[in-house]
Amino acid sequence: MIKNIEKTYELAKERYANIGVDTEKVLNALEKVKLSIHCWQGDDIHGFLFPSQELTGGIGVSGNYPGVATTPDQLSGDLSKALTLIPGHHKVQLHAIYAVTDKKKDLDELEPEDFKYWVDWAKKENVGLDMNGTFFSHPMLKDGFTLASPDKKVRDFWIEHGKRSRAIANYFGEELGQQSVNNFWIPDGYKDNPIDKLTPRLRLVDSLDQIIEQKYDEKNTIEAFEGKLFGTGVESYTVGSHEFYENYAITRGKLWTIDAGHFHPTEDVSDKFSSFLPFGKGLMLHVSRPVRWDSDHVVIMDDALLRMMRSLVRDDILDRTNIGLDFFDATINRLAAWVIGARATQKALLLSMLSPINKLKEDEVTGNLTDRLALTEELKSYPFGAVWDEFCLRNDVPVGADWLSEIRDYEQKVLFKR
């Protein structure tokens, strides 16, 4: 089996070499790309602080596949298992509600030590950690508002939470020696048409400015801001719109988060990267798969994903982009969901890298648009799967669908016993 994979790879290597693509270089480049794998796929966004709290903020998880993680050891164990099935070295994104503490603590009381559990785990796994404040599923989400609330008490609670999330992200960066991206998404908005659209946005600017007042070394942490077109229950007006956060990120020297599910379904999300980067510091992505709405389906290798990864590769902006995953599906095995989404994202990256980009760019500027179209079409049937298999082999993870039997085994031995 291994021999066949290697043989097939050698043939594929030759085919690609004929069109000027060095597959060895590509394999090295792919190995360097870290994904930020979201912990919340593993437990349907319950977290450990208030696990019985209803999920609010307009997001939803459907399904009740058996074996959901309900303790820190279960969730970190599931993540560890999933990481053995995903090639390469990655990061994991946490949310504030995943704090591990015996004390009863609210979101405005969290401290770095409440995440020591995760830092110890990350060191063991050799992964970085990214952070998310949790601005939902909490009674202080009052009438649909947090940082933009008209009520100062509500705002202050969430401002304190935001500040604390930054201290935690800074701790991740210090401890793990790599930058922790701290993502902010808030659900604030109105179901029906508001009269005043400006004042809530001014309040949000003020709240965010208070949160980011304290300086942290960017080596350790940087903030990213995630806008949205709308959420369920907030259809008419979202305070944190895309334009709002794009401008906020640019004027404050922060990252802009683009969640693939947060736009109008016909928008090409990939087209936004190169529109932002001439002005902005960098991007965070929430790679997701919206089906008719922001449904957060498990990511697959579809056109939208390919377009996104192609933009990152062709425009050479991978080093300014953090590729986070953000989907949640409880109708299938949750570990499989992680593995499918992560591997699909890596495959899309690989397919994008396996093309003679410089030649295509040259064709474009010299007006040889015939070659550009012909070659990009032909590339679709080049033996990219052989290079992917070799990548898995070299990274010591199962090739093809072999990972599935490991998940089935884990189900029997671990998940179904919960």
What is the number of the residue whose Cβ is closest to ligand RNT?
Answer: 185
Of 260 and 339, which CB lies nearer to Zn ion in the complex structure? 260
How many H helices and E strands in the chain? 14, 10
When asked if residue 45 is in the footprint of ligand RNT (CB under 6 A), the reply is yes
114 is catalytic: no
Contact between 186 and 147 (Cβ < 8 Å): yes
Q: How many residues bind ligand RNT (CB under 6 A)?
A: 11
Smallest gap from Cβ 331 to ligand RNT, in A, equals 17
Candidates 97, 43, 45, 113; CA nearest to 73 is 43
Of 175 and 296, which CB lies nearer to Zn ion in the complex structure? 296
Of 168 and 392, which CB lies nearer to ligand RNT in the complex structure? 168
When asked if residue 326 is in the footprint of ligand RNT (CB under 6 A), the reply is yes
89 is catalytic: no
Among 90, 166, 286, 297, binds ligand RNT (CB under 6 A): 286
Among 36, 41, 132, 182, binds ligand RNT (CB under 6 A): 132
DSSP track, 72-139: HHHHHHHHHHHHTTS-S--EEE--GGG---SS---TTS--GGGGHHHHHHHHHHT-EEEEE---SSST
Q: Is 138 annotated as a binding residue?
A: no
Separation of alpha carbons 380 and 345, rounded Å:
17
296 is catalytic: yes
SS3 content of the chain, % helix, strand, coil (to 5): 50, 10, 40
When asked if residue 78 is in the footprint of ligand RNT (CB under 6 A), the reply is no
Smallest gap from Cβ 230 to ligand RNT, in A, equals 10
DSSP state of 55: P
DSSP state of 192: S
378 is catalytic: no
Tell me which of 40, 158, 185, 388 is the catalytic residue.
Answer: 185
Of 62 and 199, which CB lies nearer to Zn ion in the complex structure? 62
Q: Which of residues 335-374 bind ligand RNT (CB under 6 A)?
A: none
Q: Which residues of 111-150 are buried (b: 16+ CB within 10 A; e: fewer)?
A: ebebbebbbebbeebebbbbbbbbbbbbebbbebbbbbbe
Q: What is the x/- site pattern for ligand RNT, positions 212-251, by CB under 6 A?
A: --------------x-x-----------------------
Q: What is the x/- site pattern for ligand RNT, positions 24-43, by CB under 6 A?
A: ----------------x---
Q: Which residues of 370-395 are buried (b: 16+ CB within 10 A; e: fewer)?
A: eebeebeeebeebbbebbbbbbbbee
When asked if residue 155 is in the footprint of ligand RNT (CB under 6 A), the reply is no
Question: Collapsing DSSP states into helix, strand and coil, what is residue 257?
Answer: strand
When asked if residue 188 is in the footprint of ligand RNT (CB under 6 A), the reply is no
294 is catalytic: yes
Query: Phi and psi dihedrals of 27, rounded to 5?
Result: -60, -40
326 is catalytic: yes
Contact between 96 and 107 (Cβ < 8 Å): yes
When asked if residue 44 is in the footprint of ligand RNT (CB under 6 A), the reply is no
Tell me which of 78, 259, 329, 363 is the catalytic residue.
Answer: 259
Separation of alpha carbons 193 and 105, rounded Å:
36
Q: Which does 310 bind (CB under 5 to 8 A by kind): Zn ion, ligand RNT, none?
A: none
Of 40 and 118, which CB lies nearer to ligand RNT in the complex structure? 40
Q: Is 363 annotated as a binding residue?
A: no
111 is catalytic: no
Contact between 37 and 92 (Cβ < 8 Å): yes
Of 248 and 410, which CB lies nearer to Zn ion in the complex structure? 248
Of 66 and 233, which CB lies nearer to ligand RNT in the complex structure? 233
228 is catalytic: yes
Helix runs in 254-356, H state only: 273-276, 303-314, 334-353
Amino acid identity of residue 202, one-letter, is: L
Report the catalytic residues. 185, 226, 228, 259, 262, 286, 294, 296, 326
Give the residue ranges of the annotated binding site for Mn(2+): 262, 294, 296
**What residues make contact with ligand RNT under the rule CB under 6 A?**
40, 45, 59, 132, 185, 226, 228, 259, 286, 294, 326
Give the residue ranges of the annotated binding site: 262, 294, 296
